[in-house]
Amino acid sequence: MRRVAYLNRVLVAFSCSVSDWQGSKYLLSTFTGKTELVDNLGQLWPAVERLTGGIADPLSPAVLERLRGRA
């Protein structure tokens, strides 16, 4: 649950959210309603890029600054 909560803090920068799916996968959703199941965190970022059509860099300065502001 903590991992999902933290991921959602990061994913909001990409207009996405994630939820646990039956304890074995993640359900990635965009704010426009597109969804994709991913097996692990290694598959999450490429899936974000596919669904949003943009580059998903969770370590970009903008994302890190947003996280620092909420910490």
- Which helix (DSSP H) or strand (DSSP E) does residue 16 occupy? strand 16-21
* DSSP state letters, 22-65: TTTEEEEEETTS-EEEESSHHHHHHHHHHHHSS---TTSHHHHH
Identify the band that residue 70 occupies on the pLDDT scale cut at 50, 70 and 90: low
Query: Does residue 44 surpass a pLDDT of 60?
Result: yes
Query: Does residue 22 surpass a pLDDT of 50?
Result: yes
pLDDT per position as a tens digit, 5-14: 999 999 999 9
Domain range summary for the chain, segments of one domain joined by +: 2-63
Identify the band that residue 69 occupies on the pLDDT scale cut at 50, 70 and 90: confident
Question: Looking at residue 71, what is its pLDDT?
Answer: 47
In one-letter notation, the amino acid at residue 34 is: K
